[in-house]
Structure 1
């Protein structure tokens, strides 16, 4: 028993001398940089990026402002030393305020970055926040070392280690089993919360379908669609498909010119002209833009030029009910000979 107690005493003294907040914070910053540079999976990036965004800047600033720990006046009595402005803060207050101050610092850092003309991107923001963290930790450590050891704030690893060791050293097996179950439950709860915070698979997954035209400057706009077409003459339209499914996806794009009738609030297709289909595999986060050329064969007013988007293969007879996405415009298709005859009649008159 004497040997065990002596070993425990050495462990407690070693833990008590460590300022774990500094190395842990620096490790998180370095790992965050490595994750960003190596483009690791988003879950790992978020695991180290979220503390840099939402915790460490506020923690570093609080350490610079309040390097001391809260003392119990009944146990320690009056403290006679040079006055410092509210230099103490409890662990619970420090942890809670770290989140709030980090959120408050984000827009300030963003404005400074924009004022310097650096632009907002991952590496600039990460560097700016890292500088704030390093500055706060440096000032905080200097001010902490100027305090008496009894007043210096440290993560209470020694206290936690002693409490856990004492709890598991109790002779009561039932208490030991309950302590183990409680520790396992806490670890599982923290792990579940961390996974929920960093998991990106639960976000909305979708694909977008857009119909575009090319303007005079060569840009693509969702406007100025053709409304009057001529039978058997080539027309064109651009179709854009963006993949936000979280994975590589194979699409089938089907185009049709439809004559529809509306009755009782329902629209029925009474005649259709297939205008072809295309298949393309699109990586996650990428956009597939294609030019579709076609020659209408149906004539009439209020014909529906419809595009159907399917994941995978498309059915023989596509419809808005079976398609993953659909988009359409209304067009009028005329016979060129009829238009020439009408123009001749107007000239004669």
Structure 2
């Protein structure tokens, strides 16, 4: 007895499986990997390329991945309406959505989803830094696309949503070459390029701040009863020489890595006609740290003023690079202060 067996090669099996991989979700993952490389490899001063590359990750990809997970089938909206009008909704006909709706929902859902993810980062106890936000979006896109792919695999091939890539190529070729003349072809190509350039310019304008908007922010914080950092309820009563905890936060929006120095001083001031003049100043401590682009530096420290008096000004003076020997609000880059009273020990 003869047995004939036909075994497919590894590459034949690989290609068979590869043809079933969702093209759109594969493109999403390739884009996410490329974006992660751009963020980590490009220098910090590449302020034109980064925003354009990152923009879809913020305004489209999270929503599209969620929509792909919720709607794995390919049917169009009119067919779904016909199903509803016939009052028969089954597992095979539920969840219909077409390509145009997916694109529109991708933008709309992202607008609602990104703030929720940012809130999750904050609730988890992490800083809302650019790195944490982008890392969360990357993880959401990768994990969500994998789960969406599994959902599609559970749908029958004829019902499964797929991108009509071959039809697009045929249509694009016809649009570019079907005008019947060289002039028509050139005009069509110019139109496509102009749309691409316009979208790139819009992305750069939306995500890149103007030259005058490069800045840093300093905020004073304190810990409330729940252990959260808040910008209220600062300690106001000090005893000379005794320490109390304060927290300062510096946000780097300089579009480059920056070294900051924070000088903490206590000042006795005279307020006349709404203007304050410093009568006496005592330096309490200095803090310094190098902060990456779009990163946040949060420093908890002890403050032990020795100057005694009422209505003293505990002031934080922020400098880029080093601080001068005579720090003051006039020569500081940014400043913040609270009013305190210091009594004798």
If the TM-score is normalised by the length of the shorter chain, which range does it land in? Answer: 0.5 to 0.7
After TM superposition, the structure 1 = structure 2 runs for residues 101-112 of structure 1, keeping only pairs within 5 Å, are: 102=109
Q: Does 1:332 align with 2:318?
A: no
* Aligned residue among 257, 261, 265 for 1:248: 257
Q: Is the 8 A contact 1:228 1:333 kept in 2?
A: yes
Tell me which residue corresponds to 1:133.
148
Summarize deviations over 1:57-85 as a string: whole Å, max 9, x none.
43565560517999xxxxxxxxxxxxx96
Tell me which residue corresponds to 1:181.
190
* Aligned residue among 306, 312, 320 for 1:295: 306
Tell me which residue corresponds to 1:262.
271
Report deviation, 1:315: 4.4
Q: Does 1:210 align with 2:225?
A: no
Larger Rg: 1
* Aligned residue among 58, 62, 71 for 1:53: 62
Change (3 A) 1:145 1:328: closer
**TM-score, scaled to structure 2:** 0.59
SS at match of 1:295: coil
SS at match of 2:73: helix
Q: Is the 8 A contact 1:52 1:129 kept in 2?
A: no
Report deviation, 1:170: 0.2
Q: Does 1:308 align with 2:317?
A: yes
Please give the alpha-carbon distance, in whole angstroms, between the structure 2 residues aligned to 1:218 and 1:56: 35
SS at match of 2:340: strand
Tell me which residue corresponds to 1:29.
29
* Aligned residue among 136, 149, 157 for 1:142: 157
* Ranges in structure 1 where 5+ consecutive residues have no aligned partner: 1-18, 71-83, 114-119, 147-151, 337-349
What is the RMSD of the two structures over their aligned residues, measured on CA atoms?
Answer: 5.0
Q: Does 1:162 align with 2:171?
A: no
Change (3 A) 1:105 1:143: farther
Change (3 A) 1:105 1:141: farther
* Aligned residue among 280, 290, 298 for 1:271: 280
Change (3 A) 1:36 1:208: same
